[in-house]
Structure formats: structure tokens, C-alpha cells
Structure 1
Amino acid sequence: MKLIAGIDIGNATTETAIAKIYNKNIEFIASGIVKTTGIKGTKENIHGVFASLNQALKKGKVDINDLDLVRINEAAPVIGDVAMETITETIITESTMIGHNPSTPGGVGLGVGYTVNIKSIKNMQEKQPSIVIIPRDVDFLEASSIINEAIENGIDIQGAIVQRDDGVLINNRISKVIPIVDEVSLIEKVHEGVKTAIEVAPVGGVVEVLSNPFGIATEFGLDSYETKMIVPIARALIGNRSAVVIKTPKGDVKERKIPSGKINVFGKKRKMNVDVDEGASVIMDVLRECNPIEDIKGEPGTNAGGMLEKVRQVMANLTKNHPNSIKIQDLLAVDTYVPQKVKGGLAGEFSMENAVGIAAMVKSDRLQMQMIADELEKEIGIKVEVGGIEADMAIRGALTTPGSNTPLAILDMGAGSTDASLISKDREIKSMHLAGAGNMVTMLINTELGLEDKDLAEDIKKYPLAKVESLFHIRHEDGSVEFFQDQLDPKVFARIVILKEGNMIPIPVNESLEKIRMVRRNSKKKVFVTNAIRALKMVSTTGNIRDIDYVVLLGGSALDFEIPQLVTDRLAQYGIVSGRANIRGIEGPRNAVATGLVLSYGEVKKNE
């Protein structure tokens, strides 16, 4: 009898499977799982390997000295990095203001008129439509009194721009309902006597006139050329509850492309380059044309070049190799939007700018994993060897799922990479490793919602949402209502919360539940559904995904509450049956590679 341990060093977790092998039979006795220490494929992994192995030994009531052999995975993707490149930006010159969206604007409706300081309104000679400018030194009581007096004197007040947070207070005290936008910090930059449009939507609504280029053209009397030029204004206002557009003699709003740099793709048969600012679809088309890929480099001195070279340099430092010897194996690019501060805005306005998210993955060699095996062998005094390619081991483990058989394809969806493998009836295996997985989804959620908190973004990715509608009930994201006997924490009242392990974590962004859910689901689709289709096409013997009948989903991301459903739904369109694995009938979608490392050793022994 031999006691064998298979250990899978992943990007996020290190998993162990221990089994007894005797008389050509394999009996699994225990498993372990801990967080990976260090970057996958480096010597820092050894601490996590020890912890995972000891956990499994303790469960199986086995002493480490009883082990005959430890097998670790040959980890092809050892490091990944993600970056976000904004490829457009909205710039305001002079005193044009757009897109201000305070949390509590006053009034409702659309107002168009000429700006006038509230202190000068009594001295107005012309009876033209007016937008009142209310600076910080005028409080809401004084402002509402002056506006009421002006309305009584026949002055046509169409709206107000307020520096303080007084919009609702003023609205409650004046005799006419007008749109009021407050919290305009740089109000002194708003010129007097210029034509201005203010729109405030009802609670729950969004602006309709000022988010439409032709709506703006109608209010300001623009010609076709000018209408084309104000498209960035309308685009930046989409989804806002309130908006202000000011037309100054020299004012201008323009959308400018930011040169993010070129990506150079070196394939075995051809070399191509592509500008990041052309968007993700063009980048991925170039990658497909250059497949199989030998290396990917970024243009020196650009954002794209810096991101890709950082990946290369980090890996070079960890492996003690020259940066030129580190090859980037794959890249995933996705189109997204990022909230960016509008340059030249008057109240800290933000606009959703076009951006490209990029994930890169470095190719490793077996030598690096052998160094880890040698180091581990010295530490524990037991023979350690590097097993087969990770995806090949995963498919062996996947075949222990009840009801599975060859031919079979697997999708191993982890934190750093998405791996695919296909085993034919005669047990020939073809595998592929692609950049982009759980970490990239977290980055997209973090940037698109403007959170600046990766831990919060990770929670949004992993757990469902709800809206706290009272201190005794919540509405789940699927519309169902849950009531509570005890009063909820007042801090979560009227907030969007994450339902995490019995706790309610409020999300500190001013977005609706539907918007947050949409960002979460779209991020998962952009990464996992895209990579699932891409990977399966690559491992298919014909290049046609429809030739694959069964797909088993593996890895930590297969435990997600909605990723398997999103992938399964998309694959069903190709006539593919797919679902979450259950390794050895007990482990769920985890432990496939560790199990496969033991099984592949057993196969060798059976053939001897």
C-alpha cells in the first residue's frame, strides 16, 4: 500500500487530496483547502502547501511521515494582472457645467432662462426668463423670500442654482414649483447673463430633455453642426436625476480620446498590433488572428505597455529570470465604463467614460515548479514530484463526478485564469489556459461602481443584494419580501445591502439595486461567459463548439451563486449540457486537480 497526496496550488486556494493506493485500488481518505500564500508558482506557495497538507493529514488521522509521495500541479498560468484603461474623457472649458447630480435636488421640471445673481434680481429691468444664482452667503430663508417677492413682481423665475445644500428647503418655501440644483461648489464660475437649462426629474425618474442631444438643441436653438458637438453633454447626463447645461460665449464641452498605447501580439504564424483605444472587441479579434500566441508586449512609455511590462517584471523578480525570458501567454480585454471626474466641472461632476479592462497571464515552465517541489522535499523529507499539466489533472478529477463519462470537456473557473480541457473517448486530452477569471470580475465591479474598495467589490460579486424598505422588512433582488421579528439596525434603513452570511453590509454608493445587480451580472458575463466560449472553441477538435456535448464546471468560481447559471444558459444555446461538478461525489466543484494528481499516479501504477 502507498499513501499519496495530490496538492493543487491555485491562484486563490491550495487544495490537497490524500489517498491510499493498494492492489491497483484507490481509496481517498481526506482533503484540505487553505488560501494560497504568495503568487501562484513561486516559493512563497510552500507555506500554503504545508497548511493545506497538514489540514488533510489531521482530517485523515495520518502522520506526515506515513506519506510515500507528494505530487504538485504543473501550474502553467502563474501570475495574472488586471488594469483599467480609460479611453475617453469629457472636458469642460470656460464655465459650461453639465451633469451635476446632487442627492437631493429641489422642485421638479425643466427651466430655461438667463442667469442672474439673487442679489441683483430686484434691479432687473428686462422681464426675461431667469435662472437665479444663490451663493453661500445667502441662506435658504433669505433666498426663498427674495424669490417669492420677485415672482409677485412679475419676474419669470425658471429655476435656481444653489451653492449650499438648500435645494429642498428653498423649494418648500416658494410659491412656484421650479427646478433647483444645489451643492454647486464653484458657483462663482457661473457667468451672469448666459442662457441656462435646468432639469430635475421626479423621485425615481431621470432627466429626459437634457440627456437627448435634440432636446438640448431645441432649448438652445442649435444647428446640426452644434448638435453633433454637444453629444458628449447628453451622453454624460444619461441616468441623472438632475442636470444643468450652461451656454457661454466661449464655453465648450468635448469628448477626447486618451491614447492608451498599442498592444503588440506575437503569434507563431503572424505578428499584429492594436490600439487599446480601439476597444476590447478589436483587441480580441487580433488575438484570435494571431493564435497560437507566443508573447504579448505593450508599447513602451504608454499605459498599456506599463501594465504588461509590470506583469513581466514581477514574474522575473520572483523567478530570478531575465524579464525578456518571461512570455505573456494570453490576454483578455473587455469593454466597460468607468466614472471619471469631469475636467473643468463646477461641482465635482462625474461622467461615465469608455474604458477597456485588461487581464494578462504569464507562461511558466516546469523548471519553476520543480524548484518548488525540491524546496518542499527538503522541508518535509518526503519525495515530491511535479505532476501533469493542471487542466489535464482537472479533467481526471472531474470524471469522478457521478454521471460523467468520456468524451467530456471541463471549464476550471478560478481567480486568475479560466482553464478548459477536453478528453476524447480514447482518453486523449487537449487543454487551454486563458487570462481572466474571478479577480477580473472584482476589478470591473470595483471600477464601474466607483467603489475604490476591492473587498467590498468582492462581496458584491459573491453575495446577493437587497433593499431595506423598513426596519422590519427587506426586498430581495428577485423581488421577494422578507420580514423580521426584531428591528433591523437603523444604519441600514433605506440602503442597498449585501446579504453576507447572515449580515447586512450597506453599499456606500448612490446607485439603485437594479444598477448594482446589472453591473455585477454584466461583469461576470464579460469575463466568464466570454472565456467559456473562447476556451471551448480552442480545445474542440474541430474548432466548432457545437461538437462538444457535455461540459463540467470546476473551480472556486463555479461555487458562485449565479456564474454557473450564466455559463450554462449561454452554452445551452449551442446544444451543450453543462453543470457544476461534484468531485468524488462529495467535494463539489473543488479539489479536481488535487484528485487528478492522485488518480494519474494510480493510472501509471495500473499500467506497470
Structure 2
Amino acid sequence: MRVAGVDIGNSTTEVCIATLGLKEELVFESSALVPTTGMKGTLHNIRGIKEVLQEALRKINKNVKDVDLILLNEAAPVIGDMAMETITQTIITESTMIGHNPNTPSGEGLGKGKTVLLEELQDTYEDEDYIVIIGSHIGYQEAAKLINASRHSIKGAIVQKDEAVLIYNRLKYPIPIIDEVKFIHKIPLGNTCVIEVASEGGTIQTLSNPYGIANLFNLTPEETRRIIPIAKSLIGTRSAVVIRSPKGQVEEKEIPAGTLTIYFVDGTKRMVDVDRGSEEMMHAIDSDQEILDMAGTKESNIGHMIEHMKEEIGKLSKSANVHIQDALAVDVLVPMSVEGALAGEISMERAVALAAMVKSKGLPMQELAKTLEDDIGVTTQVAGVEGVMASLGALTTKGTTFPLVILDLGGGSTDAAILEETGEVKVTHLGGAGNFITMLINTELGLENLSVAEDIKRYPLAKVESLFHIRLETGEVKFFGQPLSPKIFGKVVICKEKDFIPIETKHSLEKIVTIRKEAKRKVFIQNALRALKSVAKGNDLTQIPNVVLVGGSAMDFEIPQMLLEYLTPYGIVVGKGEIRGVEGPRNAVATGLVLSKVKVL
């Protein structure tokens, strides 16, 4: 008979096809994988299952009618993909200050004065210091001419177009100039303004310090507190402009982060303030007690997030009884818009990201199996728990022996299992994996592009330093005989196979690499330690001699090495699986499903 083991994952659906003889001799024939359609464990998966079966059968010139039995992994009762929201105490305010940091300022130092349109600065104006506003209707030559001819003390300029350097090079005396101010018409006139431009290679010192701003504008303690987001948004920048806007424009609203409540099976509960960060949240979550559910306080960020998560998953699983059985919390810096800003300035605010594993009382996998069977006319069964099946699949890696410990690094969850020679298996299933890392990278870099964030996670980076060479993130320099595209000159790029994909961001190569590695450490390293401790004897990691890595994320170019570094102090040897000697770390669950049937028939 021909058996197909189908592993429905959070990101991909994989299949292993084999024929089983009368004497239980097993011949593996084909395998394939496709992106999972819909949320794992729901009827939306059927389209992906049919696609992966067709792809694998096409390789051996067979069709679905040639399959006698389909075995599905037991994705129920855990049906949750991972979800992330930023949870922080957010202050929404029409700031009394406005900040800006363009790419191409000119000049150097501090300039303070009243804002005035350049073309309106007449001799009749009072004899005081001014910051001139130059709209796009005035060219750089005319602007420089008017500034040079003015009898007034002009201490700086704010320019709408990207012409700061062009104007500066034509001036008789140096002044700091800020350009690229898109919404220049919103600048209040007649107000006190300060411009700061640092020397090349330096960063501003005064306008990135709230007390420096307070000193320049003679602010009260309350006004100083309100300009902290502006000062924070300008830390590390080369230039800035801060303008005091008219009074009476301050409106403040607090959205509390809220409190996470963890309910345990024994009837007890723990509560932790989200504002206290991920470490305290994980201390409450990682207890020896079995979690029944989690909830957040009403009208808070955490409350809205969990309520929305349960509602959405309840709809997909057609279940009104949805519980959260595990969560992974990590600290993250989130770029947040500064209200009252001129050009979309952002402030990096601390937040907590949450990946939750959701359990439903319903049996969606049984319904999925029946629906698939009715659709294609092939007997379909839900065969086994993922961790157990992954262990069986990992046994096909040459050199493995009992007890076998596997770490399944997937897209939505991190699983661990220990398989004893007696056949006894201990498994754990934790929320948070590859997809969560992608979201963290996307959020911290402010990309708003999950596809680019996924590539940043999966491939090494480089800086294009000339049209004929790049500097890899390792420091190695690579030269080319033919010129590279001018479109990527000076940019940080993703080295994806033979292509160079530019990352549209102001962040440096070093900053992007740091964020990528930190995201992997926060998610995979933390979850790996949690998972392995859960299956180890006495929760003692030193009792685990070696670990076989399986799953799509085990193919990551740096995660196996990172895990090895963190687990070596415990005496644990880590290596990627070679499923059936041909699949690498992939296809472990699908292969295990087929192997599980050998002992049953």
C-alpha cells in the first residue's frame, strides 16, 4: 500500500510518500513542501494539502488515486499560529516641540531665532535673531542671494527641498541649515526655533537632551516631560530642529499596557504588569504548574490583544472555547510616530512582543481529516503528536541513538521531545519560532515589509561600498569584474543566493545584523532552553547528551551555531538532522508519520 504522511506546519505543509509491503518493508518514494494555506489546524489547510500531494506524486508519475492512506499530524488541540502585538504605555500628544533630522544638512553648530519666511524678512522687521523658512518656490541661488543681502541676523535656515549644501556653499558666512522639510507650511511663524547640526561623523548633543532643550526654551518641569519623546527621537542623529509651537495644543491620552493574568489548572493564578517587561512575564509563565488560560485587563493593550486573538482563532476553529496554553514574551524597541512632527519623526519606545499558543476545545483536525477524505476519496487519519512523529523521523539520521532528543524549530512553534529506547516519549510544544523572529525584525527596523524582514532573517547582509565591491557582514571584501547596479550603491543589501536586494532603511549594516541576531536569541535560544529543560530528567539540562535539530528554521545559516554556543556549557552536542539521509533537517514529522504506520499494520 502507498502511504502519505502530511505535516501541516505554521509556515509550510510537507509530505513524505512511501510504499509499504506485506512484510512491512518500507520504500520511500517522494517528498515535497508548499506554503501552508490558512491557519494551521483549520479547513483552510486542505488546499495546501492537495497541492503538496500533487507535487510529490507528480515526481513519481502518480496521482492521488494511487494513494491508499493519508496520515495527518495531530495539530489539534493546539491550533494557534503565533501572534504579536506591541504592548506599551503610549502617550499620544500634540507636542509643544517639533523635531526633524534630514539626510543632508549643512553647516555646523547651534542656531536660535524666530521663524520667518525668507521672502518676508524686510528691513522693517525688529532687530533680532531669525531662522528663515525657505519654501520650494525659492531656488537655492535666490535663497543664498537673499540671505547674503539681508541686514538682519540670520542664525539658521529651514529648507523644503534637498538644497542645504547648495545654499550653504554660496553664503558669505556659515549658518546651520536643515532641509527636506516636507510639511514646511505647517511651521508656526514668529516662534522661537533652535537648529543644531553636528560635525561630520558626529551626533547632536543639545537637542537630543531634554534638559538641553529646556534650557534653550526656558521650559517648566511639566513642559520638559512632554518634550522627552522629541529628544529621544533625535538621539544619534547628525542634525535637528526644534520649534516651540503655540500654546494650548497639548492633548494627552494614556493607553495602559495592562496586567497579564495567568490561570493554572489547579485553580491558582498569577498576575504581572506588562510594564515590568518580558523577564517578569516569563518568570510567571514558566512555572511547574500547567496553564489553563491567560487574560489581560480590560481597556488595555494586553487585554485588547488577547481578546482579539481568541476571537479570531475562535472563528477559524468554529469554537467558542479558546484558551491560551503558552506564551513567549520578549522585550522589543518599537518605532512610534512623534505627534506634532514635521517629517514623520519617530521615537524608539520599549514594548513587549507576545507569541501565544492557543488551544481549542473543539476537534478541528478530525473535521479536517474527514473533509479531506470526502473531497479526494482517500482514507485519511490523524495519526500522531508532532513531537513524537518528529522523533521517529529524526531516527533516520545516521549516527543517532537512544535516548534521542529532538528540537523542532518551526515557523510558529518550538517543540522538543525525548524518545527513550523503551518507546516512552516526553514532548513539549511552545509558542514562538521563525515567524515571530520575522515580526520582531520587521518591527524594530520599521520596515513595514514582512517579505524583506524574512529575507533579512534568512540570508547574510553586506554593504555596497563601490560599484565593484561589497563588504560582507563578516568584514570580508568581495570584488566583482562587472559593475553592480547603481541602484544599490551605498546601500545595505541582502545576499539572497545570486541577487542583492537593497534594504530601504537608514539603519547601518551593524545595527541590522545586531537586531537580527538579538531577535533570534530572544526567541529561539530562550525557547530552546525552555523546551529542553521541560523534557530533561529533573528539568536538568546536563542530563541531555545531544540534540538533533529538525524543522525549517534548523536550516537557518546561523541558528545551529548560536544554539551550539549556548548549549555547550551544559555538555550538550547540537547537530542538524539528516532525515532519511536526503532531506536535511526537513520532513521529520512527515517521515515519522509514515514510520509510525509500520508498527501498526
* TM-score normalised by L of structure 2: 0.89
Q: Give 1:389 deviation, angstroms.
A: 0.8
Structure 2 counterpart of 1:17, one-letter code: C
**Superposition pairs for residues 507-526 of structure 1, below 5 Å?**
507-526=503-522
Residues 197 and 407 of structure 1: CA distance in aligned 2, closer, same or farther (over 3 Å): farther
Rounded to whole Å, the distance in 1 between the matches of 2:245 and 2:298 is 41
Q: 2:31 matched to 1:34?
A: no
Deviations 1:312-358 (A, max 9, x none): 2333333333x2x2222222222212222211223332222222222
Q: 2:80 matched to 1:79?
A: yes
Q: Secondary structure at the match of 1:329?
A: strand
Deviations 1:107-133 (A, max 9, x none): 2x321433353443755665x665444
Q: Give 1:74 deviation, angstroms.
A: 0.7
Q: 1:268 aligns with which of 260, 265, 268?
A: 265
Residues 588 and 520 of structure 1: CA distance in aligned 2, closer, same or farther (over 3 Å): same
Rounded to whole Å, the distance in 2 between the matches of 1:349 and 1:186 is 14
**Superposition pairs for residues 98-137 of structure 1, below 5 Å?**
98=99, 100-107=100-107, 109-117=108-116, 118=118, 119-120=120-121, 122=123, 131-135=131-135
Structure 2 counterpart of 1:30, one-letter code: S
Rounded to whole Å, the distance in 1 between the matches of 2:95 and 2:45 is 55
Structure 1 counterpart of 2:369, one-letter code: A
Q: 2:558 matched to 1:559?
A: no
Q: 2:177 matched to 1:176?
A: no
Q: 2:142 matched to 1:142?
A: yes
Q: Give 1:458 deviation, angstroms.
A: 2.0
Query: In 1, are the aligned partners of 2:419 and 2:426 still within 8 Å (CA)?
Result: yes
Structure 2 counterpart of 1:284, one-letter code: M
Equivalence for 1:3? 2
Query: In 2, are the aligned partners of 1:232 and 1:254 still within 8 Å (CA)?
Result: no
Structure 2 counterpart of 1:182, one-letter code: D
Equivalence for 2:386? 390
Q: Which runs of 5+ in 2 are unaligned?
A: none
Rounded to whole Å, the distance in 2 between the matches of 1:179 and 1:226 is 26
Residues 561 and 366 of structure 1: CA distance in aligned 2, closer, same or farther (over 3 Å): farther
Deviations 1:370-429 (A, max 9, x none): 222223333444432221211111111112222222223222111111111122454421
Query: In 2, are the aligned partners of 1:74 and 1:366 still within 8 Å (CA)?
Result: no
Equivalence for 1:207? 204
Deviations 1:294-314 (A, max 9, x none): 112333444433332333233
Deviations 1:24-51 (A, max 9, x none): 5433232222222222112222222223
Q: Give 1:285 deviation, angstroms.
A: 2.3
Equivalence for 2:460? 464
Residues 366 and 162 of structure 1: CA distance in aligned 2, closer, same or farther (over 3 Å): closer
Q: Give 1:21 deviation, angstroms.
A: 3.7
Equivalence for 2:542? 546
Equivalence for 2:18? 19
Query: In 2, are the aligned partners of 1:72 and 1:373 still within 8 Å (CA)?
Result: yes
Residues 174 and 90 of structure 1: CA distance in aligned 2, closer, same or farther (over 3 Å): farther
Q: Secondary structure at the match of 2:41?
A: coil
Query: In 2, are the aligned partners of 1:92 and 1:345 still within 8 Å (CA)?
Result: no
Equivalence for 1:418? 414
Q: Give 1:267 deviation, angstroms.
A: 1.3
Structure 1 counterpart of 2:501, one-letter code: I
Query: In 2, are the aligned partners of 1:442 and 1:454 still within 8 Å (CA)?
Result: yes
Q: 2:364 aligns with which of 355, 365, 368?
A: 368
- Of residues 136-145 and 216-225 in structure 1, the stretch that sits farther from structure 2 once superposed is 216-225
> What's the Cα RMSD here?
3.1
Aligned sequence identity (%)? 48
Rounded to whole Å, the distance in 2 between the matches of 1:490 and 1:552 is 44
Deviations 1:406-458 (A, max 9, x none): 22322211111111112245442111111111221222222222222222222
Residues 516 and 553 of structure 1: CA distance in aligned 2, closer, same or farther (over 3 Å): same
Q: 2:426 aligns with which of 418, 423, 430?
A: 430
Residues 222 and 65 of structure 1: CA distance in aligned 2, closer, same or farther (over 3 Å): closer
Q: 1:570 aligns with which of 566, 588, 596?
A: 566
Q: Secondary structure at the match of 1:37?
A: coil
Query: In 2, are the aligned partners of 1:476 and 1:482 still within 8 Å (CA)?
Result: yes
* TM-score normalised by L of structure 1: 0.88
Deviations 1:208-254 (A, max 9, x none): 34334565567667899987776544322222221223457959999
Rounded to whole Å, the distance in 1 between the matches of 2:551 and 2:149 is 69
Q: 2:313 aligns with which of 308, 312, 315?
A: 315
- Of residues 533-542 and 358-367 in structure 1, the stretch that sits farther from structure 2 once superposed is 358-367
- Of residues 171-180 and 433-442 in structure 1, the stretch that sits farther from structure 2 once superposed is 171-180
Q: 2:527 matched to 1:531?
A: yes
Q: Which runs of 5+ in 1 are unaligned?
A: none
Rounded to whole Å, the distance in 2 between the matches of 1:338 and 1:397 is 40
Deviations 1:550-580 (A, max 9, x none): 1222111111222222223222243321122
Q: 2:587 matched to 1:591?
A: yes
Residues 93 and 52 of structure 1: CA distance in aligned 2, closer, same or farther (over 3 Å): closer
Structure 2 counterpart of 1:296, one-letter code: M
Structure 2 counterpart of 1:105, one-letter code: P
Rounded to whole Å, the distance in 1 between the matches of 2:515 and 2:567 is 21
- Of residues 252-261 and 466-475 in structure 1, the stretch that sits farther from structure 2 once superposed is 252-261
- Tell me how many residue pairs correspond in the alignment: 595
